[in-house]
Structures are given as structure tokens and as C-alpha cells.
């Protein structure tokens, strides 16, 4: 494994008595497309906030591109090349799509004309070019998700943290979005996803970390983690792994080993 | 940008033409006071409209500019034209100080509004208490009409002076609409977290806005002193100027280039009209003024500059 692009070591964060993230250690290699999954409330978004500087960890260190970025403010981390998106989309609603994306592009483009041109180019990459002149408030949910992605992409990140870019989309929209994400990774941007839509995780990620109650409980290929008993129990409750196994004796491989029965339904929300 | 600058030039030429042609003192006074109100509103708009930070104490910068302008001349014998950059710089410095304190700790919304109001009140009380401001009596600029003292024999001179500041404020606003700093400032206004995520430092953006806003407010204060040759703590730091600045900007349309100008013109026209119609019933003009304000905020929330859009939405909602 090459020198990791992002490395967390023993990162913890508590909110009062709630230990949202506990002693998380993980490394993201450059040029990979990986995913962070876990049940609701597992601490995934908190972990993203700790990586990207929106929260400072109580303990542990965050290293990015060879430098210690623990506790740096978010805008400094974005300048270093790590950009996040938000699960609940955060458009600059009063501004047009082009202006929204240009704010991201201004990170590297001082001149307005260059930033607007860069915004147009990024919009083409994510399929928003038809909506460039629209106010962001007029976009559909799928459009806003693309805008969230486009604005982050316009900062020319080395590492893109995507927080549930597929949540709230219909199957058709998900099918359209997946190639966009894959295309970004193919262009050399390292991508770390938080995702509930397992179809997408199985489809996209080469490596998966599973977070439950603030702890990393498993990691591996998508097929490995979805077959992991601890993961199944984290999602469906204590004892389910054993029950599922006894109910389907020798039925392994029916649905493909990758899609364990626990995840057949897609998004466990 | 080029189109905005052309519009600003056309506006300036129109005002100059009216001024050159005007004979009546009433009209010239109207033009002067409207421009002066437009300058207050445009200053407030830089921070409130484009930065989303609603100050209730913009008199803080106004009064600083006014006092520096008069003290530099009266106490230190400085030329009025040399005092002017000092007044503007002092107001900008107060903006820097207040901005550093409030934005460093992330004060926003009503908290920021209250803190600016408190700062203005503190300055008002200080101006009453300390010696070098002349205390509650205020300070008088000796009347000496000449170009060198920036005291013009005719109202026309003041029109040109204030118009110069208004044009500068408009040009700066136009720049905000077409520059990286402006894009970042508006991003912070619309969604601070989203702005941070793409590398915008909210503190620097807001600090820049309050310094620029303070500088123009200081210019307005200096202009006031030159026009009226008198300042006291209530005029300088009292809430009237703060309210005048924000009301004209809100009525005209926050975060727009022409809104504050429109708002200032509309409010002054309304004030003149109600004063002339109901002059015999003192106070009634303020009632009408207030009612119009409520109507505008209710039915044209984007202000006069955004009234077309508000109207379309209202009609669209009825159709749909």
C-alpha cells in the first residue's frame, strides 16, 4: 500500500455523554474509491466532520497528504485538498447553479471569468450543464445532489468526501448518478463515500469500513463486510446472524455471496 | 461588470445634469439628502445585503467619521481634504476592531445586531463623557465657505461631493458582484458551512465587508459635518442614522446594486410628500411613513429592486 492520502489514528469525539466516534483508525490510499457504511446514528457524518475540520477530535490525529491537519479549520483543510459534501444539501439558494459552482472554483481561480469557465466545465462533468442559469433553489432533489457534488469538485480536491449523495434519489436517478461518481474517481480523485444505498456501495467501492455506535467493527471488500456477522448484527440486531444462517441452510450463493440477505432490500433506513 | 459600470456612469451623469439645471433650493436639497441617504444605505448594504450581517449600529462608523472630520480640523487645524481620509480610515479601523471581536466569536443574526447597537451606544456615551469631543454640547465647524475648506457656497458642491462617494460605493458593489471576494462573501451570507467546505474563510470575508462598509459610513459622517457644520453625540452615534441606513436598504432591496438608491429615493419622496400634505398635523407623516414600510416589507419582501420578481411569484401562486 502506498503512502496513505488520509490517515486517522485513534480519533475520538464525544458530545456530552454520547461517545459519537471512538478510537477510529483507518487509512485511505490515494486513487481509491472506498466507502464508509453503518446503521443510522453510527457516527459516520461525525467522522466526516472530524476529517474535514468541521469538528475537532477530542483525541487522536488526522493526517492528510503527509501533514497533520488535526483541528485545523475547515477552510484550511479544503485548501489542502480535502473537500466534503453535505448529506442535507446546502446550496447557496439565492444564487444560480453557475454561481454556486464558481464559489468552489474560486479556491484556485482568482479571476471571476476563469472561475465561471471552470464552473461550466464541472457542470458538464456532473450533468448539470442544462441548468447553469437556474437559481439553485429551483433544482430538483437529484439536481441539488449533483450541485453539491459539482461545487466540491470545482475545488479540484485530491480527496472528495461524499456524504450520502444518493440518499433521496429514485432508482433511475441513482443509476444515473453512479457513473458520475465512478467517472470522478477514474479522473484520479480519491473518493470516500458515506452511503446507505448498498447497491451503490457494492457497485462502486473497492474497500468498505463499517462503523457502528462510533466504532469501526469491520473492514474489507464489500463482499467480505456484508457477510460479516458483526456487521449483520449491527444492522439487524443481536442474534440475527445466527437465525438467518439457520433459516437458510446451505443456500449460500443463491443471491450471490456479495448481497447478503440482510442487505437485499437496499437502503436500510 | 462593464454593464454595471455603464449604468453607474449614466446614473452619475443624470444626477449631475439635474443638479446643473436645477434652480430651486428645494429640489437641490432633495437631491443632496437623497444621495446622502443612498450613501448610508449603500454602506449598510455592503455588510448587510452582501454579507448577511445585519448591523443595528452603523451610526458607530458614521459618528466616528464625523467626529474625526471635525476634530482634525477644529482641534488640530488640519485641512478638510486631509481630514477626510483620516475620517474614512478611522471608521474603517473601528469596523476592523468591531469585526475582529464579533466575527472571531462567530456572533451572527440578532446577536450581531445587538452587539453593534451596544457599541454605538457605548461610543455615544463616551462622546458625551470625554473632553476632546466637546461633550454633550457637540462640536461646531467654523463656517468658512470655500473649496479649500470643503464648505461650498451652493448646495451643488455638496451634491458633487456626496455623489462621488455614492458612485464609489456603487462601483465597489459592482465589483463585489463580479469578483472572488464578492462571491465568497455572498457564499458566507447564504450558507456559512457550505462556504467553509469549499475553502472560504468566513472570518476574512465578513471582516473585509465590515471594513469597507465602515469606511463608506465614515465618508457619510464626514460629509454630514461638512454640510451641517455641527455634530453632537446623539446625531453622531444615536440610532436614527443606523435605522435610516438599514431601512432604506431593506425597502430598496438588500443585496442588489440599485436597491439602496431606490429605497433612499422612495423614502425621501414619501417623507416630503407626507410632510407637505399633512404638515398641519404633526406626527401624521410618521404614521404614513410607518404604514408604507409595513406594506413594503409584507408585500415586496425583496424590496423595490426585487418587486418584479415578488409580483411574478404572487401572481404565479394565484394561478397555480
Q: Judge if A189 and A221 occupy the same domain.
A: yes
Q: Judge if A208 and A129 occupy the same domain.
A: yes
Residue A251, domain extent = 227-260
- Is A268 inside any structural domain? no
Annotate A164-179 with DSSP letters as a single string.
-TTTT--HHHHHHHHH
In chain A, whose CA is at the least distance from the CA of B189?
A92
Q: Judge if A207 and A255 occupy the same domain.
A: no
Q: Judge if A100 and A111 occupy the same domain.
A: yes
**In angstroms, rounded to a whole number, what is the distance separating the alpha carbons of residues B101 and B116?**
11
Q: How far is A94 from chain B (nearest CA, A)?
A: 7
Q: Judge if A186 and A61 occupy the same domain.
A: yes
From the CB of residue B184, how many other CB atoms can be counted at a distance below 10 Å?
25
Choose the mutation target among A50, A52, A74 for the interface with B, i.e. most B CBs under 10 Å.
A74
**In angstroms, rounded to a whole number, what is the distance separating the alpha carbons of residues A84 and A54?**
10
Q: Do B199 and A111 touch (CB under 8 A)?
A: no
pTM of the complete model? 0.89
- Is A265 inside any structural domain? no
The domains of chain B are located at: 2-252
Most trustworthy range by pLDDT among A14-18, B63-67, B140-144: B63-67
Using CB atoms, which residue from A53, A103, A109 is nearest to B184? A103
Chain A residues 130-159 with CB within 8 Å of chain B? 151-152, 154-155
- Is A37 inside any structural domain? yes
**In angstroms, rounded to a whole number, what is the distance separating the alpha carbons of residues A7 and B265?**
59
Contact B310, B299 (CB under 8 A): yes
* Closest C-alpha to A82, from B198, B205, B187: B198
Q: Judge if A232 and A104 occupy the same domain.
A: no
Residue B221 has a pLDDT of 97
Q: Judge if A184 and A244 occupy the same domain.
A: no
- Is A56 inside any structural domain? yes
- Is A144 inside any structural domain? yes
Q: Return the CATH class of domain B2-252.
A: mainly alpha
pLDDT at B281 over 80: no
Q: Judge if A240 and A134 occupy the same domain.
A: no
Give CA torsion, residues B8, B11, B12, B14, to 10 deg: 160
Rg (CA), chain A: 19
* E strand spans, chain A: 6-15, 18-28, 33-37, 59-64, 67-68, 82-84, 159-163, 190-194, 207-212, 215-220
Q: Judge if A249 and A171 occupy the same domain.
A: no
Contacts A–B by Cβ distance under 8 A = 82
Burial (0-12, 13-18, 19+ Cβ within 10 Å), B319? exposed
Q: Which residues of A59-89 are buried (b: 16+ CB within 10 A; e: fewer)?
A: ebebbbbeeebbebbbbebbbbbbbbbbbeb
Q: In chain A, which residues have pLDDT < 70?
A: 1-2, 248-269
- Is A66 inside any structural domain? yes
Total domains in the fold of chain A: 2
pLDDT at B267 over 60: yes
* Closest C-alpha to B104, from B211, B212, B206: B206
Q: Do A94 and B201 touch (CB under 8 A)?
A: no
Q: What is the CATH number of the domain that holds A129?
A: 3.40.50.300
Q: Judge if A247 and A147 occupy the same domain.
A: no
Q: Judge if A219 and A246 occupy the same domain.
A: no
Cell digits of residue B123? 461610543
Residue A253 has a pLDDT of 41
- Looking at this predicted complex, what is its ipTM? 0.85
Q: Judge if A184 and A113 occupy the same domain.
A: yes
Residue B22 has a pLDDT of 85
Amino acid at each position: 500500500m502506498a503512502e496513505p492520502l488520509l490517515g486517522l489514528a485513534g480519533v475520538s469525539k464525544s458530545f456530552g455523554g454520547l461517545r459519537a466516534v471512538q478510537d477510529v483508525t483507518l487509512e485511505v490510499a490515494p486513487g481509491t474509491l472506498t466507502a464508509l457504511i453503518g446503521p443510522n446514528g453510527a457516527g459516520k457524518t461525525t467522522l466526516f466532520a472530524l476529517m474535514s475540520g468541521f469538528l475537532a477530535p477530542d483525541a487522536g490525529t488526522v493526517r492528510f497528504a503527509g501533514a497533520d491537519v488535526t483541528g485545523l479549520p475547515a477552510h484550511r483543510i479544503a485548501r489542502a485538498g480535502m473537500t466534503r459534501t453535505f448529506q442535507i444539501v446546502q446550496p447557496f439558494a439565492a444564487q444560480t447553479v453557475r454561481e454556486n459552482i464558481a464559489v468552489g472554483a474560486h479556491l484556485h481561480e482568482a479571476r471571476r471569468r476563469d472561475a465561471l469557465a471552470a464552473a461550466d466545465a464541472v457542470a458538464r462533468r456532473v450533468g448539470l450543464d442544462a441548468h447553469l442559469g437556474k437559481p439553485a433553489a429551483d433544482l430538483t432533489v437529484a439536481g441539488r445532489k449533483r450541485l453539491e457534488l459539482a461545487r466540491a469538485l470545482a475545488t479540484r480536491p485530491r480527496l472528495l468526501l461524499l456524504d450520502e449523495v444518493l440518499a433521496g434519489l429514485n432508482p433511475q436517478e441513482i443509476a444515473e448518478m453512479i457513473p458520475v461518481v465512478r467517472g470522478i474517481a477514474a479522473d484520479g480523485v480519491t473518493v470516500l463515500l458515506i452511503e446507505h444505498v448498498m447497491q451503490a456501495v457494492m457497485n462502486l467501492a473497492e474497500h468498505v469500513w463499517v462503523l457502528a455506535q462510533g466504532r469501526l467493527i469491520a473492514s474489507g471488500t464489500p463482499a467480505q463486510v456484508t457477510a460479516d456477522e458483526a456487521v449483520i448484527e449491527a444492522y439487524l440486531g443481536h442474534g440475527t446472524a445466527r437465525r438467518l444462517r439457520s433459516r437458510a441452510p446451505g443456500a449460500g450463493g443463491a443471491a450471490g455471496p456479495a448481497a447478503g440477505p440482510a442487505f437485499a432490500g437496499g437502503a436500510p433506513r | 461588470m462593464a454593464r454595471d459600470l455603464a449604468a453607474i456612469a449614466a446614473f452619475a451623469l443624470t444626477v449631475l445634469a439635474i443638479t446643473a439645471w436645477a434652480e430651486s433650493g428645494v429640489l437641490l436639497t432633495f437631491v443632496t439628502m437623497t444621495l446622502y441617504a443612498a450613501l448610508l444605505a449603500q454602506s449598510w448594504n455592503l455588510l448587510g445585503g452582501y454579507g448577511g450581517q445585519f448591523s443595528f449600529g452603523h451610526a458607530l462608523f458614521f459618528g466616528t467619521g464625523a467626529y474625526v472630520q471635525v476634530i482634525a480640523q477644529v482641534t488640530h487645524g488640519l485641512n478638510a481634504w486631509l481630514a477626510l481620509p483620516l475620517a474614512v480610515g478611522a471608521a474603517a479601523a473601528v469596523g476592523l476592531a468591531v469585526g475582529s471581536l464579533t466575527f472571531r466569536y462567530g456572533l451572527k443574526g440578532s446577536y450581531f445586531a445587538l452587539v453593534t447597537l451596544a457599541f454605538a451606544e457605548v461610543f455615544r456615551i463616551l462622546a458625551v463623557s470625554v473632553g476632546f469631543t466637546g461633550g454633550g454640547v457637540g462640536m461646531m465647524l467654523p463656517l468658512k465657505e470655500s473649496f479649500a475648506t470643503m464648505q461650498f457656497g451652493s448646495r451643488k458642491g455638496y451634491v458633487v461631493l456626496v455623489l462621488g462617494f455614492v458612485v464609489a460605493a456603487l462601483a465597489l458593489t459592482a465589483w463585489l458582484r463580479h469578483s472572488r471576494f464578492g462571491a465568497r462573501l455572498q457564499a458566507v451570507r447564504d450558507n456559512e458551512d457550505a462556504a467553509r467546505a469549499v475553502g472560504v474563510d468566513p472570518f476574512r470575508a465578513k471582516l473585509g465587508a465590515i471594513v469597507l462598509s465602515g469606511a463608506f459610513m465614515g465618508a457619510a459622517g464626514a460629509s454630514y459635518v461638512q454640510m451641517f457644520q455641527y455634530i453632537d453625540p446623539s446625531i453622531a452615534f444615536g440610532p436614527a442614522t443606523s435605522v435610516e441606513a438599514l431601512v432604506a436598504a431593506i425597502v430598496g432591496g438588500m443585496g442588489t446594486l440599485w436597491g439602496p438608491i431606490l429605497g433612499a429615493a422612495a423614502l425621501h419622496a414619501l417623507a416630503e410628500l407626507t410632510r407637505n400634505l399633512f404638515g398641519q398635523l404633526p406626527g401624521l407623516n410618521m404614521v404614513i411613513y410607518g404604514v408604507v414600510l409595513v406594506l413594503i416589507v409584507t408585500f415586496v419582501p425583496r424590496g423595490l429592486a426585487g418587486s418584479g420578481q415578488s409580483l411574478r411569484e404572487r401572481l404565479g401562486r394565484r394561478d397555480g
